[in-house]
Structure 1
Amino acid sequence: MRWDIFCKVIDNHGDIGVCWRLAADLAARGQDVRLWVDDASALAWMAPAGHPRVAVLPWEGCVAAQPGDVVIEAFACELEPAFVAAIAERTRTSGRQPAWINLEYLSAEGWVERCHGLPSPVLSGPGQGLVKRFFHPGFTASTGGLIREPDLLQRQAAFDRAAWLQARGIAWAGERLISLFCYEPPGLASLLGQLAQAGRPTRLLVAAGRAEAAVRQWLATRPDTGSLALHWLPLMPQPAFDELLWACDLNLVRGEDSLVRALWAGKPLVWNIYPQHDDAHLAKLDAFLRWLGAPPGLVAFHAAWNQGGPALPAIDPAGWQPSVERARRRLLAQHDLVSELMRLVRGEHQPSTVPDALGPVGKSK
């Protein structure tokens, strides 16, 4: 089938990162994908090789395009009216509606299971009478699951940490390795100070962008980093970022995409959740930690990391590891997101009558 994925880049590359992983996974399974995006610049480093079955196209070009078999609105982006009208016209002329999916944000909150897969009739505009369907990624079998490429486990099993680090000029001598990919968490300065004073040497692999800027700001006030060695990472393609997480003993991640990849890595993790002005992110964080079965120390660390306040607890990778391993096993026993999405779409793509509101086949109403 031909898939149209629509993405509007808001900030921080998370939206385009998820959409590219989705597009590339579909393409690897033999699907043809058009990724319509308003700013594709991040793909130059995120996916420099592209994929032969994924066409990356400018958002505005969709107004003259004919829709494919599946249309995905990622993260509540709103389609151009001309493209919606083209969906309606294809529905009238072919006798079946392209599957129209609203791909939502990731959450472990209870309402996700209740809303996943629900229909959403279009009540006005050029698509009146069509039906979208909500698709919620999630952590349970009653949701849409998480993106997991079919070859992920094989690639991870073949990974050679020492060779990977050496190839990237990371002078590893057996010290603890921690990756840092964050916004500006309130607990960052406390963590850096903790690592600098620790008896055990640590090498912090700092992602380019906001994480690097935040660490450099701290570094400007502290010339002596003690037991903490810093390594500045370049912008990395997605496969290399996955390997970074496999290489480290603890992963400090942010947003949605890197959280999922850290879960697949199976290493202890800390999540810097994207802050929202009404603190809705705190309920989302609490739901995730409850699903994870996080021990009290990890819960307390997340609170101080994301909100500040009480002193940041000491990191405890060994104590945090079992909950992540159990969570990963649960996830591996469930279907992945692309498999669930294709199953849903196959059901939606069966021959059917045109919605009444669109009028008889071949005639506009």
Structure 2
Amino acid sequence: MKCHIVGGWVRDRLLEEEGFPVRPKDRDWVVLGETPEAMVRRGFKPVGGDFPVFLHPKTHEEYALARTERKTAPGYHGFVFHAAPDVTLEDDLRRRDLTINAIAMDADGNLTDPYGGAADLRARVLRHVSEAFAEDPVRILRCARFAARFPEFTVAPETMALMRGMVDAGEADALVPERVQAEFQKGLETKAPERMFEVLLECGFWARLYADVPMEAPIRRAVGDVARAGHPMAARLAAMTLGMSSGDAAKAFLKALRSPVDAMEYALTLHAVRPLLTAPATLVNLRDFMVRADALRRPERAEDLIRFAKHLPEAEGDLKEDLRMKALAAWRSVDAGAVAHAQTDPKAIPGAVLEARTEALRAVL
């Protein structure tokens, strides 16, 4: 059976050889000159939906029959795939997005690189393979995400021009929120998420779809810093809303993207406590932060918000992070049950508990 490793594994193998801190992961194979029936007879398990993909009976790696595709409708669902023994390796590679992802390697390590992907790797360039790139708007997001994963790379001028044309033609309008959210989340896991937004701004994607969500340089830097600092995904998604005017607007944006509920809640709380995170660590400000952040029920989020503060565009000077952490611990240390038990009037309990917690804060100042 004639087959080649294709896509990300080959790309990352070549980058690793050049000293990039990447490690090739799962291998994907393309199979030439075979039919679905022949693959089944060899013991492969079919798992493909729109086109024939099979799992190896022993390694469980994915083997896809070489295929071509034809655009039949707007958006990224309108494709008809053709997989047959007469499809060549070059035909299959031509339908891929970027040249660096269109390199194949056989079992002996020999490369097939008809579109100059290895040269673009060396030149640190993200370039589309063919005009077929314009048929799938998801590729705009993928290109932006690769720019974030590999910030040393630049987008080829002709590829940027092609993406602008796609945006102007309305191709990006067909993307469903779930797909955009998935790509954003992958981009926020890279080492330079701000590059993703820079590319989306440059090609017009951001202005076309999210004109009411500011993404100026200070906000992009904050998003990148939050990601590199290891904050949870909810915080990274919420950081995208730092330029918005209110928590409600931020929540609406994330909801429209079909973001996880914890990201929407994080954004709401972030906007509610944001002024307190950079304000002087006075008794009143610390108390108000604890209340608005729901620090008793959500202590992990409160801790993360305190750490988040230094990444805010308006953050200046010493924000007293250690003091705020001690204040959080003091706030949580109060035994509310004991305070309540000491009250003779049940109506006085909430005020007494708040006062006890306020005194605990005062002790750390």
Q: TM-score, normalised by structure 2?
A: 0.22
TM-score, normalised on structure 1? 0.22
Bigger share in strand: 1
Higher-RCO chain (CA-CA 8 Å, sequence separation at least 6): 1
Structure holding more helix per residue: 2
Which structure would you say has the larger Rg?
2
